[in-house]
Amino acid sequence: MPFSACMRDCYDTCSMVAKVKNGRLTVRGNPKHPITAGFLCPKGALLPRWFHAEDRLKAPLIRTGERGSGEFRKTDWDGAIGIIARKLRETIEEHGSESVLVYQYAGDRGVVNYAFPLRLFHYLNTAMLDYGICDRAGQEALRDVYGTAIGMDPEELKNQRLIIYWGINAFWTNLHGFTFAKKHDLEIWTVDVVRTETAKRSHRFFQIKPDTDVLFALGVAKVIIEEGLYDKAFVRGNVYGFEEFKNYVKTLSLYYVSEETGLSVEEIETFARDFAEKRGVIHIGYGFQRSLSGGEAVRAIAILPALVGHRFGFIYDMKTIDKSYAEGAFLRTKPAKKIPQMKLAEYIERGEIKFLYIYNSNPLASLPNQNRLRKALVESDVFVVTHDIFLTDTALYSDVVLPANTFFERPDIADSYYHRYVALNEPVARLYGKSNSEVTRLLAKALGINNPYIYEGDEDVIKKVIEINGLSWEELKREGFVKVPEKPRAWETPSGEIEFFSQRAVGRGLNPFPEYRKPEGKSPLRLLPPTHRMTITSQYHNTYVMIDPNLYINPSDASERGIKDGDTVEVFNDYGSIRTIARLSDDVPPGVVLLYKAFWVKILGWNANFLTADETVEKYGNASAYHSTWVDVKRI
């Protein structure tokens, strides 16, 4: 049976076995894959529903009404590609190649389908995205301390005693990782603002106030150092700036840490003592670092595993294979103008983007401050092309919409940002639409481009990437996955050591040590917009429907506002306002409200991103700050 790889933007990158019988797709987890372990998450198990969805796009569309109106006419592929090619050529002639932007993200993580279209845009020397939506602040922070954001192979957890899920709802977002830790009998702790499903299944839960992680981690470090619990030989031989760091935390009062974080002094001390004794490993989440203090928090947390003698005692990112061949940046003849992903609206407002080609992403659901982005699109003359499987909100605001196929319909391979396996994906059927690479080739042909790289076949690209990385094609074909061996590596910092005193951070004008800033907002309640169990950002909202659009609020905040469970409420701030149902819950602490991630606006009429902050954290790569959002709520 053919192997599939779940291409979703998810830690687990599952290897699956798929088949189509009597026209219906069935999938199951590959039993041999050590992380997938023969089972799928609830979203994976429903993939056939997504694949067979009635509302999949079947023909290219040309917009006939206002942006967002949903008025389109159908056309054929030649017609649509012809229009796009003509417009692209005209735009480049009139405004230069840098007025063209390709906006893509991880809607499909296949090496070919993620990267191949970029070959065309590199060849045309267009502007490119500087990614900042997801994990950027943490990337920068870990580089400040270790010179890399690539941590431990999670399979090494077999030999560990304690895993801490710090700001990650692993039971929802990394189910196979969470199950692996359980299976190997690790002790599990969670640090989160919300009593999540992960927290409920952990041995210990540290419920922290938002944005105070920097202080908590520094407080823990202080106890470990001052009680002499750290690995002295390791620190002496491998840490840069330990004495200065020790002096830095000396002045920190644990009472202050307790007051700010909401954790008792005893909780901070027992965390420190048990963490040191059990030499804990920390899985640092992506969600919580999307805030104004996220980078500083990750820097502080990153210090803890090193104190107890781990060379790379964190899990954050994993880059096992070199995928640059698929992307083909070598086709450029001049350096790329980089546009920060979070500043899309600002660049459109300034008239710097005249042609926008979007694939693998749904920015009209996923970017913050939707009112601003939508207004910018409506008021500008930017020509927008969207290539997607569905008529998303982004598609509704586009001039041309192209139907995409799914990963069940084409070959590819995928790596994971969590584990060390590459998975094979073989096509099982063809229903509708074209792959990202097919569209690239059609467009190149219509533009009269002759460069052979842009016409390379998917299978050739896949085999070349496998070869470049020294992996076995035979093993991949036989098992459906192959493990990428880990090479010995050093810390890629200026000193070559783990930098508690970060020279790289100083180079960006930051304090050498992580700094705490009291979180402040204009409105009284902190809005958290985290992941939902049944979606991947906006994906599956239309197909799985089991979404939860309610506002979760602590009973004390609700009663202050006269709100009862089930009441309709307005949630508002300077960015916008939305209406939904309030649910009273002790899982969210006082002062905090929660709305799940980035659902389809065309279904709900709103989503959390009509409220989220579009500020960026400049010193951490213009990273997003979704979690630094404040709102108020009233009953209506």
Whole-number minimum distance, CB 585 to Mo ion, in Å? 25
Indicate which single residue of 97, 502, 612, 622 sits in contact with ligand MGD (rule: CB under 6 A). 612
Nearer to Mo ion, 134 or 384 (CB): 134
Indicate which single residue of 56, 310, 343, 387 sits in contact with ligand MGD (rule: CB under 6 A). 387
Whole-number minimum distance, CB 287 to Mo ion, in Å? 8
Determine the Cα–Cα distance for residues 40 and 28; give it in Å rounded to an integer.
7
Which whole-number Å values give the CA distances from 214 to 160, 169, 315, 345, in the listed order?
Answer: 25, 19, 18, 31
Contact status: 91 vs ligand MGD (CB under 6 A): no
Instruction: Write out the two tokens for 445.
Output: 């042909």
Nearer to ligand MGD, 196 or 622 (CB): 196
Indicate which single residue of 15, 91, 113, 573 sits in contact with ligand MGD (rule: CB under 6 A). 113
Nearer to ligand MGD, 101 or 191 (CB): 191
Nearest-CB residue for ligand MGD: 287
Query: Residues 139-178: x/- map of binding to ligand MGD (CB under 6 A)?
Result: ---------------------------xxxx--xx-----
Residue 79 falls in which region: left (phi positive, over 0), alpha (psi -120 to 50) or beta:
alpha
Nearer to Mo ion, 134 or 257 (CB): 134
Interface with ligand MGD in residues 481-500 (CB under 6 A) = none
Instruction: Write out the two tokens for 111.
Output: 């090496």
Is residue 358 within 8 A of residue 386, CB to CB? The reply is yes
Determine the Cα–Cα distance for residues 21 and 2; give it in Å rounded to an integer.
12
Contact status: 622 vs ligand MGD (CB under 6 A): no
Strand arrangement, sheet containing 24-29: 3-5, 15-21, 24-29
Contact status: 587 vs ligand MGD (CB under 6 A): no
From the list 155-163, 186-194, 459-467, 486-494, the region that binds ligand MGD by CB under 6 A is 186-194
Span between the terminal Cα atoms of the chain, in Å: 55
Q: Which does 484 bind (CB under 5 to 8 A by kind): Mo ion, ligand MGD, none?
A: none
Nearer to ligand MGD, 517 or 564 (CB): 517
Contact status: 202 vs ligand MGD (CB under 6 A): no
Contact status: 44 vs ligand MGD (CB under 6 A): no
Nearer to ligand MGD, 16 or 608 (CB): 608
Determine the Cα–Cα distance for residues 365 and 392; give it in Å rounded to an integer.
8
Whole-number minimum distance, CB 530 to Mo ion, in Å? 11
Angle at 399 between CA 398 and CA 405, to 5 degrees: 65
- Secondary element (H or E) of residue 504: helix 503-507
Q: Which does 390 bind (CB under 5 to 8 A by kind): Mo ion, ligand MGD, none?
A: ligand MGD
Whole-number minimum distance, CB 134 to Mo ion, in Å? 3
Is residue 582 within 8 A of residue 576, CB to CB? The reply is no
Give the contacts of 621 (CB within 8 A, at least 6 positions apart).
130, 132, 136, 137, 139, 140
Whole-number minimum distance, CB 240 to ligand MGD, in Å? 27
Is residue 189 within 8 A of residue 205, CB to CB? The reply is yes
Would you state the torsion angle of the CA atoms of residues 274, 276, 277, 280, taken in this order, to the nearest 10 degrees?
80
Indicate which single residue of 57, 608, 617, 631 sits in contact with ligand MGD (rule: CB under 6 A). 608
Q: Which does 115 bind (CB under 5 to 8 A by kind): Mo ion, ligand MGD, none?
A: none
Interface with Mo ion in residues 123-152 (CB under 5 A) = 134
Judging by beta carbons within 10 Å of its beta carbon (0-12, 13-18, 19+), is residue 358 exposed, middle or buried?
Answer: buried
Would you state the torsion angle of the CA atoms of residues 194, 199, 200, 202, taken in this order, to the nearest 10 degrees?
-170
Contact set with ligand MGD (CB under 6 A): 9-10, 105-108, 113, 133-134, 166-169, 172-173, 191-194, 196, 208, 210-211, 213, 285-288, 359-363, 365-366, 387-390, 392, 404, 436, 528-533, 535-539, 597-598, 608-609, 612, 626-627
